[in-house]
Amino acid sequence: MRIGVATLAAVAVVGCRPAGRDAGAVAAGGGATTATATTTATATATTTTTTTATTTAPFGASVPIARYTCPVVLHGGGFGSFLAPADTRLAFVDGDDLLALVNRSPTGALSPDYAPSDLVDVRDGSPRSPRECEQARSCLRRAAAAGLRAMLDRMRAEGQEGHVTSAYRGFGTQCWVFSSWAQQARGGFCEAAEQSALPGHSQHQLGTTVDLFTREWAQEGAKTGRGVFRDGFGCSTGGKWLDENAWTFGFVVSYPIDPDDRRDGSRCLARTDRPVPIDPKTGYKSEPWHVRFIGSEDAARFHEAWVASGPGTPAEITLEQWLRARRGLRGDTELPVCDGCQCGACSTLADDDRDGLCKGESLTLDENGRVKPADEEPRILDARAAAAPDGATLVDVSVHAAAHTPTQTPATTPEGPTYGEGATFEALAPYPDAQPHRYADLPGAWRVGVGPVPEGAVSWPWRASLAKGVLAATWNRANVVLPARPGDSTVRLRVVLPPGATGLRVTLLRDGVEHGSRDVTR
């Protein structure tokens, strides 16, 4: 039996958001390498070995995928977008690991044949095969099911009856869900990719994740025909309860609202004064019903780290950042796999542009999932400055970059963001009304650096991405590695010169180190 057609759209929208994104691969790899070098110089052989293990395979050892069983998302499969063959040949994720990093990146996928070995019926805990679970039953791994039952008991005791809409889903079911959604969605494959996980990229395949509502919420959805995945659950009694209490039962809400996107500081209301795209830190829009079991002890550790990270500030972490940090990965996340939808903000294991949909506008990953450097270093062609009517100074830097050159946020556009008085790359608001973000150097990533003459306290205080400016709206809410725009292009920075500045200089930075510099023509 399959999921009923009536519930399909809803399931697709929600439960399956798969993914992740990626900017972190380069950062991760580079960061790890740096750490190793440091360790080698100063620490014992034992320590070095440990660190090296982390660096070699931060995403886990990849295994070949024997047979990719979702041809509909491949070239010729019926959609205009599709995955490159190289991105369907390796799986990095160990699904048995409760702390597995499953996201939208090429490194965040499970093998098609992965299924947990300890699935049970969530209602009574009786063992079930993956095949049985794909049919009429709601299944989770044994520990997750026990945690869920305890949580449902508590909810009941507090006057709320829980309602599980979706639990374990195998690769085949996810393939079916994704493709059905892509067929129904107006935006086709690309709209589906932001709403529903690609097969292999869904946390539901782990057997530890449920879409959990309340009976009241479900009944209302049935009565109105709007289903359970409608807006508003996060601010309902049940949604707030999950947000506050799920962690005490070992569950984490994987996809909260990004702090930049919250209305009036509310944890459950999204702002409406501008479009809210996917959260770059998770790869998806918020899903207050999607909770993943990581075990009580680790959920408590995550909660502690979350509190320490600064909830409500740009530094607030999600489960994704916590899981990455444990692996020594730098930056907020990895870019999604390239499927033709978000060229300029995707990554691929394909080593040949003929095999990829985005040609040069992608990050390319090595067999360990780390971002590869480009064939040549970028170079500055020209740099000019002019006064803007509002008193800011516009600095235009012409740059040549090879395809697949790693760069990083913040991306800039003619409109901004503006480096106002005192602002630096370590504290820059990505847009008006946003709190300042810190765009620390990510290993291996190139940026334009601009600074005043004479130099101030911060070296190259104004830094900007070589990526397409259009990426700013989504990706500047995170510190991530992005692919540079290949060929010749102009990076524009809006800066406010400090009093006493007599000129400007510009350079290209990688790992905080300048590579040539020149005066800006005014």
The total of other beta-carbon atoms located within 10 Å of residue 225's CB is 7
Q: Are 509 and 403 in contact (CB under 8 A)?
A: no
Q: 487-495 and 418-419: which strand pairing?
A: parallel
Q: Does residue 493 sit in helix, strand or coil?
A: strand
Nearer to Zn ion, 15 or 259 (CB): 15
Of 7-15, 362-370, 448-456, 506-514: span binding Zn ion (CB under 5 A): 7-15
Of 96-104, 208-216, 348-356, 405-413: span binding Zn ion (CB under 5 A): 208-216
Q: Whole-number minimum distance, CB 290 to Zn ion, in Å?
A: 4
Contact set for Zn ion, span 117-136 (CB under 5 A): none
Q: Whole-number minimum distance, CB 391 to Zn ion, in Å?
A: 48
Of 12-20, 90-98, 119-127, 271-279: span binding Zn ion (CB under 5 A): 12-20
Of 13-21, 22-30, 255-263, 384-392: span binding Zn ion (CB under 5 A): 13-21
Alpha helices in 188-252 (DSSP H): 188-195, 215-224, 237-245
Q: Whole-number minimum distance, CB 242 to Zn ion, in Å?
A: 12
* Residue that is written with structure tokens 């911060």 in the block: 458
Q: Whole-number minimum distance, CB 212 to Zn ion, in Å?
A: 9
Nearer to Zn ion, 14 or 28 (CB): 14
Q: How many residues bind Zn ion (CB under 5 A)?
A: 3
Q: Whole-number minimum distance, CB 282 to Zn ion, in Å?
A: 12
- Furthest CA-CA distance within the chain: 75
Q: CA nearest 493: which of 506, 482, 484?
A: 506
Give the residues across from 23 on adjacent strands: 334
Q: Does residue 356 sit in helix, strand or coil?
A: coil
Q: Does 361 bind Zn ion (CB under 5 A)?
A: no
Q: Does residue 93 sit in helix, strand or coil?
A: coil
Nearer to Zn ion, 211 or 339 (CB): 211
Contact set for Zn ion, span 46-65 (CB under 5 A): none
Nearer to Zn ion, 11 or 73 (CB): 11
Q: Does residue 346 sit in helix, strand or coil?
A: coil
Q: Whole-number minimum distance, CB 488 to Zn ion, in Å?
A: 43
Nearer to Zn ion, 278 or 399 (CB): 278
Q: Please state, in angstroms and rounded to a whole number, the distance separating the CA atoms of residues 507 and 395.
A: 12
Q: Please state, in angstroms and rounded to a whole number, the distance separating the CA atoms of residues 201 and 336.
A: 10
* Cis bond before residue 275 (omega within 30° of 0): no
Of 154-162, 189-197, 210-218, 369-377: span binding Zn ion (CB under 5 A): 210-218
Distance in angstroms between the alpha carbons of the first and the last residue of the chain? 70
Q: Are 316 and 308 in contact (CB under 8 A)?
A: no
Q: Whole-number minimum distance, CB 218 to Zn ion, in Å?
A: 15
Nearer to Zn ion, 21 or 485 (CB): 21
Q: Please state, in angstroms and rounded to a whole number, the distance separating the CA atoms of residues 151 and 291.
A: 12
Q: Whole-number minimum distance, CB 235 to Zn ion, in Å?
A: 19
Of 2-10, 14-22, 55-63, 433-441: span binding Zn ion (CB under 5 A): 14-22
Q: Whole-number minimum distance, CB 508 to Zn ion, in Å?
A: 42
Q: Please state, in angstroms and rounded to a whole number, the distance separating the CA atoms of residues 20 and 453.
A: 41
Site mask, Zn ion, residues 247-276, x = CB under 5 A? ------------------------------
Nearer to Zn ion, 17 or 370 (CB): 17
Nearer to Zn ion, 59 or 213 (CB): 213
Site mask, Zn ion, residues 282-301, x = CB under 5 A? --------x-----------
Q: Whole-number minimum distance, CB 166 to Zn ion, in Å?
A: 6
Burial profile 310-343: b = 16 or more Cβ within 10 angstroms, e = fewer: eeeebbbbbbbbbbbebbbbbbbbbbbbbbbbbb
Q: Whole-number minimum distance, CB 170 to Zn ion, in Å?
A: 14
Q: Does 163 bind Zn ion (CB under 5 A)?
A: no
Contact set for Zn ion, span 389-418 (CB under 5 A): none
Q: Does 211 bind Zn ion (CB under 5 A)?
A: yes
Q: Whole-number minimum distance, CB 50 to Zn ion, in Å?
A: 35
Write the Ramachandran bin of 148: left for phi over 0, alpha for psi from -120 to 50, otherwise beta.
alpha
Nearer to Zn ion, 213 or 306 (CB): 213
Q: Does 15 bind Zn ion (CB under 5 A)?
A: yes
Nearer to Zn ion, 167 or 357 (CB): 167
Q: How many CA atoms lie within 13 A of 3 on its CB side?
A: 24
Q: CA nearest 334: which of 498, 478, 164?
A: 478
Q: Whole-number minimum distance, CB 11 to Zn ion, in Å?
A: 8
Nearer to Zn ion, 139 or 329 (CB): 139
Q: Does residue 94 sit in helix, strand or coil?
A: coil
> Which residue number has the CB closest to Zn ion?
15
* Residue that is written with structure tokens 């725009």 in the block: 485
Of 15-23, 41-49, 68-76, 227-235: span binding Zn ion (CB under 5 A): 15-23
Q: Does residue 241 sit in helix, strand or coil?
A: helix
The token pair at 95 is 């699904």
Q: Are 504 and 520 in contact (CB under 8 A)?
A: yes
Q: Please state, in angstroms and rounded to a whole number, the distance separating the CA atoms of residues 122 and 447.
A: 50
Nearer to Zn ion, 165 or 476 (CB): 165
Q: CA nearest 406: which of 474, 482, 329, 512?
A: 482
Nearer to Zn ion, 59 or 284 (CB): 284
Please report, as ranges, the residues that interact with Zn ion according to CB under 5 A.
15, 211, 290
